Amino acid sequence: MIAQTDSIKALAVERARALGAGDVRVVDAREDDQSRDRMRESFERGDLRTWGYDDAYARAAADPQRILAGARSIICIAVPYATQEPARPPLHGRVSNYAWSRDYHTRMRELLSRVAADVDRAAGAAVTAIACDTKPIAERAFAARAGLGWIGKHTNLISPALGSFVFLGEIVTTLALEPDAPVRKSCGSCARCIDGCPTGALRGDYTIDATRCIADLTQRTDPIPREMRALIGDWTWGCDICQLVCPPTQNAGEQGSQAFVPYDAATAAPALTELLQLRSGEFKRRYARTAMGWRGAAVLRRNAAIGLGNALDRSAIPALSASLESDPHPMVRGAAAWALGRMASPQAIDALRARRTIETDPTVQEEISAALL
Ligand code: B12
Ligand code: SF4
Ligand code: SF4
């Protein structure tokens, strides 16, 4: 049986690499107490309160048995995705590199299912279950224990060879595969991600207040807290700053394959005044196939308004005024009001005053009042 599991591990590694994995390692599937405790502490602090994670989630995410009863090993897979950022003209938003090509959930599922099917076939039985992002499993902790890399102060897993721009995926199996050794590395005295984070989300002790992270803020479906809006800068979706400044990630370079190159400049660097007009037809055509497609068009329009408010370019006032006047979603009208308040030019003030007399939604009324203060 040992010879058989050795050859199954080698098969899984070879197949995953052939399908785009940059590294593949195995960890035993025992419950990860350290990760459970760290998650609990994080949830108690409220770091993930926008996600509704709780104690039950921490217990489940630390225990691979919840994914597959009888689990004995996890094949942890890292797929590099960094490719070159396209040029961004003024008034164009910035999109995190994980979201500017085909949705990674779909790709990772394809890769993981194909490798898992090969493992099942070699074992002569169904011995696997796959996970990527959406299932309760502490992906970074298991990846680190498997030896794919170490968890950095920006809280992402850093592979010594690939950097941190890697997606993680797991094949949980009932087979007892030979585990790999963890990487003995840490960030040492480096603090570049902490200094670089525009919102102060990173504490420096390998924890994050995710409610301050731009990646979280730009995918909220409720209004972004007012005090955080200016800190978002030109990010339309996600944020890469803490990784772009990270030395091992810089040294790794752009190792994403052609498949991760942006669909087009409009997806990776959208013109914000156009994004402000985004309706469901164009949304489905352009964004639904990416990882920024899951929160809907109004969230992207809201983010465009915030980006324009931060650009402080008065040429955007007509577009913002039109949004304030006629966007069907109060959250977007509210963000447009905020952006116009940032401009504070006579034209922007006029638009706010005009809308104040006819706006019926109390949340937008409140945004207009705050913008006029
Ligand atoms: C919720 C979530 C978010 C939230 C919260 C992020 C966070 N840091 O917790 C938000 C929306 C902010 C987010 C942002 C991003 N995310 Co996200 N996210 C997730 C998700 C779904 C759950 C993470 C979670 O449970 N967080 C709760 C915390 C407390 O637990 P944890 O992150 O699992 O890990 C902690 C424990 O493992 C513990 N720990 C355990 N043992 C040890 C040992 C040591 C020594 C140390 C120091 C720590 C430690 O420390 C870890 C860090 O706090 C995972 C997928 C998954 N199922 O894991 C993807 C995931 C973590 N995200 C991912 C990505 C790509 C991103 C972004 C880069 C996207 C972007 N560019 O906008 C950013 C990165 C922002 C950042 N600095 O973290 C990747 C990370 C890949 C990688 N290389 O690490 C994942 C794994 C998805 C995937 N399958 O590839 N994400
Ligand atoms: S992704 Fe951006 S906002 Fe989030 S921790 Fe990193 S630098 Fe800060
Ligand atoms: S920037 Fe420095 S401290 Fe932050 S994760 Fe990278 S190596 Fe670690």
Task: Give the helix ranges, DSSP H, for 124-203.
Answer: 139-146, 192-196
Band (pLDDT 50/70/90 cuts) for residue 280 is confident
Q: What is the DSSP letter of 84?
A: P
Q: What is the position in ligand 1's atom list of the atom closest to the CA of 186?
A: 45
Our answer on whether the CB atom of 241 is closer than 6 Å to any ligand 2 atom is yes
Shortest-distance ligand to the CA of residue 156:
1
Strand 235-237 relative to strand 94-95: parallel, antiparallel, unpaired? parallel
CB-count burial class (<10 Å; 0-12, 13-18, 19+) for 136: middle
Query: Does the active-site annotation cover 33?
Result: no
pLDDT at 337 exceeding the cut of 70:
yes
CA 11 to chain centre: 30
How many angstroms does the Cα of residue 244 sit away from the middle of ligand 2? 10
Per-residue pLDDT for 266 more than 90?
no
Q: Is the CB of 213 under 6 A from ligand 2?
A: yes
What pLDDT score was predicted for residue 265?
85
Please say whether the beta carbons of 80 and 255 come within 8 A. yes
**Cα 155 to ligand 2 centroid, rounded to whole Å:** 10
333 lines ligand 2 (CB under 6 A): no
Mutate to test the pocket of ligand 1, among 156, 206, 232 (most ligand atoms within 8 A of CB): 156
Dihedral sign (CA 62, 64, 65, 66): positive
Q: Could you state, in order of their start, the residue ranges of all structural domains in the chain?
A: 2-83+100-173, 192-372
Q: Are 351 and 340 in contact (CB under 8 A)?
A: yes
261-275 burial: b if 16+ Cβ within 10 Å, else e: ebeeebbbbbbbbeb
Residue 296: what pLDDT? 93
Q: With a cut of 80, say whether residue 256 has pLDDT above it.
A: yes
342 Cβ neighbours under 8 A, 6+ residues apart: 230, 309, 310, 312, 371
Whole-angstrom distance, CA of residue 182 vs CA of residue 321: 55
Question: Of ligand 3's atoms, which has the minimum distance to the CA of residue 152?
Answer: 5
- What mean pLDDT value characterizes the chain? 96
| pLDDT per residue as tens digits for the range 143-198 | 999 999 999 999 999 999 999 999 999 999 999 999 999 999 999 999 999 999 99
**Per-residue confidence (pLDDT) for residue 290, from 0 to 100:** 94
Question: Is the pLDDT confidence value at 1 over 70?
Answer: no
What is the per-residue pLDDT across 126-138, written as a single tens digit (0 to 9) for each?
Answer: 999 999 999 999 9
Ligand nearest to the CA of 216: 1
Q: Is 197 in the pocket of ligand 2 (CB under 6 A)?
A: yes
Residue-level pLDDT at 2: 56
Residue 1 tokens, joined: 């049986």
Q: pTM value? A: 0.97
Handedness of CA 338, 339, 340, 345 (dihedral sign): positive
Residue nearest to atom 10 of ligand 1 (CA): 216
Q: Residue 367 is inside which H or E element, if any?
A: helix 362-372
Considering the candidates 28, 133, 234, 361, report the single residue annotated as catalytic: 133
Task: Give the H or E element holding residue 78.
Answer: strand 73-80
Least confident of 65-69, 84-88, 109-113, 307-311: 84-88
The pLDDT tens digits of the residues spanning 57-99 come to 999 999 999 999 999 999 999 999 999 999 999 999 999 999 9
pLDDT of the residue at 3: 56
186 alpha carbon – ligand 3 mean position (Å): 9
What pLDDT band is residue 24 in, cutting at 50, 70 and 90? very high
How far, in Å, from the CA of 137 to the mean position of ligand 2?
22
Q: What is the DSSP string of 199-219?
A: T--B-SSS-B-GGG-HHHHTT
Nearest CA to ligand 2 atom 6: 242
Over residues 205-241, the pLDDT tens digits come to: 999 999 999 999 999 999 999 999 999 999 999 999 9
Angle at 17 between CA 16 and CA 19, to 5 degrees: 65
Distances (CA, A) of 304 to 24, 226, 278, 368: 38, 15, 10, 18
pLDDT of residue 109: 97
Would you say residue 252 has pLDDT above 70? yes
pLDDT of the residue at 82? 98
Tell me the CA–centroid distance for residue 232 and ligand 2, in Å. Answer: 10
Q: Are 76 and 143 in contact (CB under 8 A)?
A: yes
Burial class (CB in 10 A: 0-12, 13-18, 19+), 225: exposed
319, containing H or E segment: helix 317-326
β-strand partners of 158: 150
Answer whether 135's CB lies under 8 Å from 67's CB: yes
